Chains A and B, each alone.
Chain A
Amino acid sequence: MDKAKENRAQGVLKRISGPVVTAVGLDAHMYDVVKVGNEELMGEVIKIQGENIIIQVYEDTDGIRPGEPVENTGLSLAVELGPGLLTSIYDGIQRPLEVLVDKMGNFIERGVSAPGLSHEKKWEFVPTVKAGDEVKAGDILGTVQETNIVHKVMVPPRSKGGKVKEIAAGSFTVDDTICVLEDGTEIAMLQRWPVRVPRPMKEKLNPDVPLITGQRILDGLFPIAKGGTAAIPGPFGSGKTVTQQQLAKWSDAEIVVYIGCGERGNEMTEVLTEFPELEDPKSGKPLMERTVLIANTSNMPVAAREASVYTGVTIAEYFRDMGYDVSLMADSTSRWAEAMREISSRLEEMPGEEGYPAYLAARLSEFYERAGRTISLNGAAGSVSVIGAVSPPGGDFSEPVTQNTLRIVKVFWALDAKLSQRRHFPAINWLNSYSLYLDSLNDWYDQEVSPEWNPLRAWAMGVLQKEAELQEIVQLVGSDALPDEEQVTIEVARMIREIFLQQNAYDAVDTFCPMSKQYDMMKAIKHYADLARTAQAGGATPQQVISVRSKNELPQIKFIKDYEPALEKILKDMEAEFDAMRAA
């Protein structure tokens, strides 16, 4: 009986059609990981149809023939979690790319497996519990200094827990037992977790703390909360990638998970070469020390691209459970959706809109729902903020991926090709973007920045909105035809755009703008607007007000690190000029 059962773990291939193959004579469950063909390519069961087991293969299937063996591992697609994740660069199924270079050279060949974590490297484990303590699933047993980040070693989420029998400090590999419970359960640092299942937690918290990114248009006008979700749609060439990289570099999350999903090889290389060189503004250590990169470029196997997003979010959740704030970038979810479409079409499934599978919306919402600020099983508060890029074909926002994404996410940063053509960077359109977190973040800005900030932001948005209306008139009749007051409004709006909104990612200082500086800059612009209004009330002409020279110095503030003295001087000059105007 047992023997017959054993044999069913091995089947044969019946049909091969690109990345989708069919096997027969195999016992399998949905999402079991299987080894396909003589070369044991990695695959995953995605459909069961009577005797036919349909498998998506994570590697190239060229030359594979019907009749070759298929073996079921009985496991689902899982990632290895433990010390060693940080600084790693993985492909979509958590194979370390660096190890792959050593194993198979500069090109990605198939049939090579590599574990996600090093199983040889020893880590210094320091226990935080002692023998006799009661531990339950998710509890922290001890720590490992992984990089400058402290890796917290936890009891696996599905463990029963119990009383600690033995635990000791020492040097261990991820497989070594670090803790034995009374009931004999041995716990190692390594955990495996199936990528398609969200990791459990105690509760989700409200998003009331912003994720500070140092990007003025984001923090200032359209903030995302820690644990929130945002989408960056953008036609190609609108600076989407640069914006995402800026977020990865500067957001105040402790851990960054960056998924390059179906994107360009050279661009990934830019990330791969830049991140290790970048300095983390807080620790002074390389940014890479708190980063996990997943790079599945557009020409790497499509099924692995489908998996890459899950691999990334599972790693993010793992760090969240330790109590860290994690920001996850997925660039681009459209490529992920396309991978689903491609596989769905190979399965000959009934297509939904534009050939995408009918379950597209469900998959997208499942993914974004894995974001959140949470209390983990051990009581620590952490968060996963998800920032997904969408690449709408032809810049058409009505297409299914963008639409289904917008129904879920709370923040929308509308990149605009027109702005980037004008070299207005970041090319985020201030009229079409929105953040639904503004209300829940109000208190934070009141306390941490200034009670004046929220009204100031509302004022700036009002001016920009007004400008848009006025521009329509200007287009028709020219700017001279506007009332005096509105001519100044246009000037103030221009200042908000050019001084506050435009930000140079390549300038050493301007690339990150702290909230306090954002506040000072906006206040300075408002100050000019107020002075101008008073001057106009006193009879000054728009030309007089607009030609105030000192305000032209304001943009320089962006590029000065210790900007306060310079700003003070400009404000003083400005007041002097207005005083002179009044005197005249």
Chain B
Amino acid sequence: MKEYRTVAQIAGPLVFVEKTEPVGYNELVNIVTADGTVKRGQVLDTSDEIVVVQVFETTAGIGRDSGIRFTGETIKMPVGKDMLGRILSGGGKPIDGGPEIVPEKRLDITGAAINPYARSSPEDFIQTGISTIDGTNTLVRGQKLPIFSASGLPHNDVALQIARQAKVPGSTEEFAVVFAAMGITREEANQFMADFEKTGALERSVVFLNLADDPAVERTITPRLALTTAEYLAFDLGYHVLVVLTDMTNYCEALRQIGAAREEVPGRRGYPGYMYTDLAGIYERAGIIKGVKGSVTQIPILTMPGDDITHPIPDLTGYITEGQIVVNRELHRKGIYPPINVLPSLSRLMNLGIGEGHTREDHKKVSDQLYAAYAEGNDLRGLVAIVGKDALSERDRMFLEFADLFEDRFVRQGLYEDRSIEETLDLGWELLSTLPEEQLVRIDRELIQKYHPKYRKKAQG
């Protein structure tokens, strides 16, 4: 392989190389520094005169005397059966002291788009054991459902609880977990690793770690490596894979950094104009394929800068993903775990995975009624602040109390409390039964007769 020593310019993570052979777009590049270390990079722009290389590691040590080797191929990920149980760096190298991965295949990490015609509609209910997800924002296999959080909130605990408890009731197939950390602290990473080890989840996991002090640019490939692995496990080996990506905000920061270094015209808040397409290239790598056994389900986690849901990162994410689970500071302050605010949360695929044959016939109606009643009670809180509780009508007071009860009983649950969907729905009924029956306008009479605790007790007694 020819080595060029024609570096013209180095700016941030970018190296500009002159007078090369024709180099392919997105090709993998090895850069050899004076002391012999090899750094990896990728071609961002290629022409007769100049080739722009984005370096995944720090550019420290790279100079005009460095040797540039173009490998002639795009970045590939070696994948194999023995990947489960392994811990890899954000660049895909084993860091658990174990041997190199024995590759069965080498796959392009960009991943091709699944032909929409080849997709099969997601409809298998995943029980996470968390009422606010199962009951009101149901996750289904093949979905991408992000957690929108903010700094200082226990989103990691929520993600861990999901990873620990997720199952498809009545199915014996186990989930494999692919966990990709981007720019999280060593401490957070340790929390994840400790939990994985404790629960034995590590054996069925592949972990990619790019920590806060690892090169930022490397973060741009970490999720792609993780998803390439997930797709291999799912569509080649038939596993149902749950992919946890944390923290996507750090990923987007890295994108912005590269954009700035390339002197691109920035979009909103300095993020590159192609961020939507770029994120779509990650999030869309979830789903089920007709006639293929496995599935990829994604739970990306992001922290909203300034708790702002309209910030470009959560905003663009929400446009691509199928809903969002919003972790809320107010609930956290009230000491409620998991502090999931169901009002702005949403699962777009919920209706495909609930109801008769999936969960229970009353699921949709109960969920709608809980939502509506909680929303009404929550609205009244603002009114109470102005006029006081006494000025409320009898009806309004009941809804106000319902909101408190909902947060305390339905939202709140233990870190290791794994509620079945029946428990969640029955709990919902129990709370709804505090309201007068005629206020349950979203539920048909038949279902009320069948599930309302009042009638159930009668039936039993």
A binds B: yes
A interface residues with partner B (beta carbon < 8 Å): 14-18, 22, 60-68, 89, 97-98, 100-101, 105-109, 236-237, 241, 260, 262, 264-270, 272-273, 295, 297-300, 302, 335, 338-339, 341-342, 345, 348, 351, 354-355, 391, 393-396, 417, 421-423, 475-480, 498, 506, 552, 555
B343 and A421 form a contact (CB under 8 A)? yes
Known contacts A61-B25, A355-B267; A391/B319 CB under 8 A: yes
Q: Which residue of A lies closest to B345 (CB)?
A: A237
Which of A62, A273, A299 makes the CB contact (< 8 A) with B25?
A62
Chain A residues within an 8 Å CB radius of B289 = 106
A62 and B108 form a contact (CB under 8 A)? yes
Known contacts A62-B108, A345-B274; A264/B46 CB under 8 A: no
In this assembly, does B458 line the interface, its C-beta being within 8 Å of a C-beta of chain A?
Answer: no
Q: Tell me how far the C-beta of A57 lies from the nearest C-beta in chain B, rounded to whole angstroms.
A: 10
Chain B residues within an 8 Å CB radius of A236 = 315, 318-319
Interface residues of B in 6-56 (CB under 8 A from A): 22-27, 44-48
A101 and B118 form a contact (CB under 8 A)? yes
Which of B115, B119, B264 makes the CB contact (< 8 A) with A345?
B264
Chain A residues within an 8 Å CB radius of B48 = 14-15, 66-67
B310 and A396 form a contact (CB under 8 A)? yes
A109 and B112 form a contact (CB under 8 A)? yes
A265 and B267 form a contact (CB under 8 A)? no
Known contacts A264-B322, A273-B121, A338-B276; A107/B114 CB under 8 A: yes
Q: Tell me how far the C-beta of A392 lies from the nearest C-beta in chain B, rounded to whole angstroms.
A: 9
Chain A residues within an 8 Å CB radius of B393 = 478-480
A24→B438 CA distance, assembly (Å):
75
Chain B residues within an 8 Å CB radius of A555 = 441
In this assembly, does B161 line the interface, its C-beta being within 8 Å of a C-beta of chain A?
Answer: no
A267→B284 CA distance, assembly (Å):
11
Q: Tell me how far the C-beta of B149 lies from the nearest C-beta in chain A, rounded to whole angstroms.
A: 17
Q: Which residue of B lies closest to A65 (CB)?
A: B22
Known contacts A338-B276, A355-B267, A393-B312; A67/B22 CB under 8 A: yes
Shortest beta-carbon contacts, A-B, top 9: A394-B310, A298-B280, A15-B47, A107-B112, A97-B117, A299-B284, A65-B22, A106-B118, A63-B24
Looking at the complex, which of B165-173, B331-339, B384-392 is the stretch in contact with chain A? B384-392
Interface 1/0s, chain B 319-362, versus A by CB < 8 A? 11111100000000000000000011010110110000000000
In this assembly, does B122 line the interface, its C-beta being within 8 Å of a C-beta of chain A?
Answer: yes
In this assembly, does B277 line the interface, its C-beta being within 8 Å of a C-beta of chain A?
Answer: yes
A266 and B351 form a contact (CB under 8 A)? no
Which of B119, B235, B265 makes the CB contact (< 8 A) with A351?
B265
Interface core residue of B310, B311, B376 (most chain A CB under 10 Å)? B310
20 extra interchain contacts, Cβ-Cβ under 8 A, other than A394-B309, A421-B344, A478-B392?
A14-B48, A15-B48, A16-B46, A18-B274, A65-B23, A106-B290, A265-B116, A266-B119, A266-B143, A266-B287, A269-B119, A272-B119, A299-B113, A345-B273, A345-B274, A351-B265, A355-B266, A393-B310, A394-B311, A396-B310
Chain A residues within an 8 Å CB radius of B438 = 552
A341→B268 CA distance, assembly (Å):
12
A89→B265 CA distance, assembly (Å):
35
Interface 1/0s, chain B 58-96, versus A by CB < 8 A? 000000000000000110000000000000000000000
Interface core residue of A16, A67, A272, A506 (most chain B CB under 10 Å)? A16
Chain B residues within an 8 Å CB radius of A395 = 310
A22→B25 CA distance, assembly (Å):
13
Q: Tell me how far the C-beta of B80 lies from the nearest C-beta in chain A, rounded to whole angstroms.
A: 20
Which of A89, A260, A299 makes the CB contact (< 8 A) with B281?
A299
A89 and B117 form a contact (CB under 8 A)? yes
Determine chain B's interface SS by DSSP, over half rule.
mixed
In this assembly, does B375 line the interface, its C-beta being within 8 Å of a C-beta of chain A?
Answer: yes
Question: How extensive is the interface on chain B, given as a class?
Answer: 35 or more
A265 and B310 form a contact (CB under 8 A)? no
A66→B20 CA distance, assembly (Å):
10
Chain B residues within an 8 Å CB radius of A15 = 45-48
Which of B22, B286, B387 makes the CB contact (< 8 A) with A477?
B387
A108 and B113 form a contact (CB under 8 A)? yes
A348→B273 CA distance, assembly (Å):
12
A265 and B287 form a contact (CB under 8 A)? yes
B322 and A267 form a contact (CB under 8 A)? yes
A342 and B115 form a contact (CB under 8 A)? no
A63 and B73 form a contact (CB under 8 A)? yes
In this assembly, does B451 line the interface, its C-beta being within 8 Å of a C-beta of chain A?
Answer: no
Q: Which residue of B lies closest to A299 (CB)?
A: B284
In this assembly, does B220 line the interface, its C-beta being within 8 Å of a C-beta of chain A?
Answer: no
In this assembly, does B110 line the interface, its C-beta being within 8 Å of a C-beta of chain A?
Answer: yes
Chain A residues within an 8 Å CB radius of B349 = 266
Known contacts A62-B25, A66-B48, A106-B292; A421/B115 CB under 8 A: no
A100→B118 CA distance, assembly (Å):
10
Known contacts A345-B264, A423-B442, A555-B441; A338/B277 CB under 8 A: yes
Which of A267, A270, A272, A297 makes the CB contact (< 8 A) with B113?
A297
Q: Which residue of B lies closest to A422 (CB)?
A: B375
A25→B274 CA distance, assembly (Å):
30
Q: Tell me how far the C-beta of A346 lies from the nearest C-beta in chain B, rounded to whole angstroms.
A: 8
Q: Tell me how far the C-beta of A459 lies from the nearest C-beta in chain B, rounded to whole angstroms.
A: 24
Known contacts A338-B273, A345-B264, A421-B344; A66/B22 CB under 8 A: yes
A237 and B25 form a contact (CB under 8 A)? no
B118 and A66 form a contact (CB under 8 A)? no
Chain A residues within an 8 Å CB radius of B265 = 345, 348, 351, 355
Which of A264, A273, A423 makes the CB contact (< 8 A) with B372?
A423
A300→B73 CA distance, assembly (Å):
21
A22→B45 CA distance, assembly (Å):
11
Known contacts A106-B289, A266-B322; A341/B273 CB under 8 A: yes
A191→B442 CA distance, assembly (Å):
52
A63 and B26 form a contact (CB under 8 A)? yes
In this assembly, does B285 line the interface, its C-beta being within 8 Å of a C-beta of chain A?
Answer: yes
Chain B residues within an 8 Å CB radius of A22 = 47
Chain B residues within an 8 Å CB radius of A338 = 273, 276-277
Chain A residues within an 8 Å CB radius of B300 = none
A100 and B117 form a contact (CB under 8 A)? yes
Which of A62, A241, A266 makes the CB contact (< 8 A) with B24?
A62
B310 and A298 form a contact (CB under 8 A)? no
Q: Tell me how far the C-beta of B347 lies from the nearest C-beta in chain A, rounded to whole angstroms.
A: 10
A345→B318 CA distance, assembly (Å):
24
A237→B118 CA distance, assembly (Å):
26
A62→B320 CA distance, assembly (Å):
23
Chain A residues within an 8 Å CB radius of B45 = 15-17
Interface residues of B in 373-387 (CB under 8 A from A): 375-376, 382-383, 386-387
Chain B residues within an 8 Å CB radius of A335 = 276
B375 and A300 form a contact (CB under 8 A)? no
A262 and B47 form a contact (CB under 8 A)? no
A477→B392 CA distance, assembly (Å):
10
Interface core residue of A241, A265, A341 (most chain B CB under 10 Å)? A265
Known contacts A14-B48, A262-B280, A264-B320; A63/B74 CB under 8 A: yes
A-B residue pairs in contact (CB < 8 Å), sample of 13: A16-B45, A18-B25, A63-B74, A65-B24, A106-B118, A108-B112, A237-B323, A241-B348, A264-B284, A269-B116, A269-B120, A300-B113, A354-B267
Chain B residues within an 8 Å CB radius of A237 = 318, 323-324, 344, 346, 348
A60→B108 CA distance, assembly (Å):
12
Chain A residues within an 8 Å CB radius of B284 = 264-265, 297-299
B280 and A98 form a contact (CB under 8 A)? no
A394→B316 CA distance, assembly (Å):
9
A109→B112 CA distance, assembly (Å):
6
A480→B387 CA distance, assembly (Å):
12
Chain B residues within an 8 Å CB radius of A341 = 267, 273
A62 and B343 form a contact (CB under 8 A)? no
Q: Tell me how far the C-beta of A263 lies from the nearest C-beta in chain B, rounded to whole angstroms.
A: 9
In this assembly, does B423 line the interface, its C-beta being within 8 Å of a C-beta of chain A?
Answer: no
A272 and B116 form a contact (CB under 8 A)? yes
Chain A residues within an 8 Å CB radius of B74 = 62-63
Chain B residues within an 8 Å CB radius of A417 = 344
